[in-house]
Amino acid sequence: MMFPHTVTVYTITEDPETADVTTNITVVTGVLFDGSKAANVRASGLEGADAVNLYIPFDAVSVDGVTGAEKAYIRPRAFAEALDTSGYWTMDPGNTFFVLGEIVNPDMTFREINGKYDNVHLITKVDTKDFGGLRHFEVGGR
């Protein structure tokens, strides 16, 4: 199987008026997790190179981490402007992190999850590869 992994994506948003913080948790199956920091450092010469690459086909299955309801991907700006984000998920560098595996902890912060689990990564980039026979997102994380 070319995409054997599952990740849990956490997007953190804050309401500008009330300062309420919301965590949107999505479990995405049918992805490829490639931990390749050494190769990235060799190729780029940058110690700060992405530690991992995550490949998410457009047709990967994504469900709400708490309810199990199916979700659709939307871009970060559309997600931020949506009145109800319960049926959607996004990947917004700086506000999103992912964990390898199905790790759903709605009451934990990034710091707590990172302290408890391996393979927790902040998203640093999201490239959309919308061409050819394998349309996908290429996600960088550190």
pLDDT of 53 strictly over 70: yes
- What's the whole-number average pLDDT of the chain? 91
Provide mean pLDDT across the span 20-30: 95
In this structure, the strands spanning 52-57 and 21-35 are: antiparallel
CA angle, residues 79, 123, 81, in degrees to nearest 5: 10
Provide mean pLDDT across the span 76-103: 96
pLDDT of 54 strictly over 50: yes
Q: Where is average pLDDT lowest: 8-17, 24-33, 71-80, 109-118?
A: 8-17
Under a CB-based contact definition with an 8 Å cutoff, are residues 12 and 21 in contact? Answer: yes
Amino acid at the residue 59: D
Under a CB-based contact definition with an 8 Å cutoff, are residues 22 and 103 in contact? Answer: no
Under a CB-based contact definition with an 8 Å cutoff, are residues 34 and 53 in contact? Answer: yes
Q: Residue 1: its pLDDT value, please?
A: 75
Provide mean pLDDT across the span 77-101: 95
Query: Does the reported pTM lie above 0.75?
Result: yes
At residue 29, φ and ψ (nearest 5 deg) are: -110, 155
5 - beta bridge partners? Answer: 31
Under a CB-based contact definition with an 8 Å cutoff, are residues 96 and 116 in contact? Answer: no
3-state secondary structure 77-119: HHHHHCCCCCCEECCCCCCEEEEECCCCCCCCCHHHHHHHCCC
CA atoms 54, 123, 46, 35: torsion sign: negative
Q: Residue 40: its pLDDT value, please?
A: 43
Residue that wins the pLDDT comparison between 113 and 42: 113
Secondary structure class of 40 (helix, strand, coil):
helix
